[in-house]
Amino acid sequence: MDIRRISDFVWEIPRQGGMLVPGRIFASDALMESVLRDRATDQVANVAHLPGIVDSSLAMPDIHWGYGFPIGGVAATTVDDGVVSPGGVGFDICCGVRLIASRFTEADFNARRDDIMSQLDRRIPRGIGKGAIAPGALVPEVLHTGAAAALEGGYGWDGDLDRCEERGTSQGADRSAISEKAITRGKRQLGSLGAGNHFLEVQVVEEVLDDAAARAFGLASGMVVVMIHCGSRGLGHQTCTDQLQVMGDAMHRYGIEVPDRQLACVPVRSPEGEEYLGAMAAAANFGWANRHILAHEARAAFAAAFELSPEATGMDLVFDVAHNLAKIESHQVNGREMSLCVHRKGATRAFGPGHPDLPPDLQSSGQPVFVPGSMGTASWVLKGQKDNPAFGSAAHGAGRLMSRKKAKGRASGQEVRRQLEEAGISVRPGSVKLLSEEAPYAYKDVDEVADVCDRANLAAKVARLRPLGVVKG
């Protein structure tokens, strides 16, 4: 495949074959080497075949192979004559990251380390299958109003919704589009972390690079924070599975052909397209509520460990942002304002200063953007930039460098745990055996990913976070 470098951090796949637009990948030399080995460039080119796609098929610096779309893929299609594709969202609908500040320092954490980690270990359900904090009876209302339903149910604080993308509620949710099988799975998992790369991590703000933005976000050097990464669990996975079946059957009726069956799609303005968007929004609401409830329990864990009230912990929400969604948004394309269906699959929304969708207290700074690393490595807080070249999107993490099977073959879970503990990182795994799948060596260099985001104007660096303790599935 012909791939050309067009700037220091942008690579282009020119239009060829049935591609309707070029492909563009944001990467450094080092990151591009892993992209070429992964052949995720093939998926970038495949996405460029989607009817109604505009500008380019885009890939963030953490790009790697995914289902249909690459993980780290971004594509915008016209609402009037374009398509929506579940492969551009993924199975874990509304997977995302929530960051919570605190009044504690690293010294405070170290003084109560075992108590804090034991409280989190006991309170945070995780792993494959069952486990929940909230009752299943809350699920129907959660599907309708997301984190707002969780707040009404007694979880979280009143100000939390102000610091959530979409205020924690995806509009247009259609509960009737969620199957009974999906609902049954969700009722057993509302308020749970899951497995795989999902985590709850206690971190310290190691370095602040943008004082003004950090103050706006509520962050300060030396502050202990909690980062939560999870999504819509089995309910979201089942919803995507159900909708893919609908898409596969309908696509041929609309005369749509794509180079990969995993890119099954239908017109945005079709009965099937509207059903998918309604089902996706309902599943997304489960994801917003899931992180909201986990944050409530994390506050309770710290409060118990320090023998304080939850309010006295100062654990205010910095922000909550998703990285697996398709959303109807307005963007400029060739100087013209257009209504677009923006697919972000393993890519975070990153709106810049002055964007009308940001809360008033973040208008001057831009939206917080989170780029988590892997256990044992740093994570980054960035801020959205004006004139973002990717429909207001940025990377969502370090991005996998090797498969789970290959990672397990390199070291045992026990060995990975020992290395992390020796580095001063307390680990509370749901499964020690599976720790090796998520070892630091299985991921790309998160500092490099954050640097490319900054230099390519996707999102600017604000603060670097260092892990102190991690709860894993």
Q: Are 371 and 450 in contact (CB under 8 A)?
A: yes
Helix locations, 39-154, DSSP H = 40-47, 106-111, 113-123, 139-145, 147-152
Q: Which residues face 427 on adjacent strands?
A: 470
Distance (Å) of CA 244 to CA 167, 261, 266, 273, 275: 28, 10, 10, 11, 12
Alpha carbon distance, N-terminus to C-terminus of the chain? 38
By CB neighbour count within 10 A (0-12 exposed, 13-18 middle, 19+ buried), where does 254 fall? middle
Which of 64, 237, 292, 396 is labelled catalytic?
A: 396
Nearest to 9, CA basis, from 22, 25, 23? 25
Given CA atoms 105, 107, 111, 114 in this order, what sign does their dihedral have?
Answer: positive
Q: Does the annotation mark 396 as catalytic?
A: yes
Please state, in angstroms and rounded to a whole number, the distance separating the CA atoms of residues 375 and 392: 28
Residue with tokens 């990975």: 416
Beta pairing partners, 393: 349
Q: Where are the beta strands (DSSP E) in 137-278?
A: 199-208, 224-230, 266-267
Q: Which residues are catalytic?
A: 396
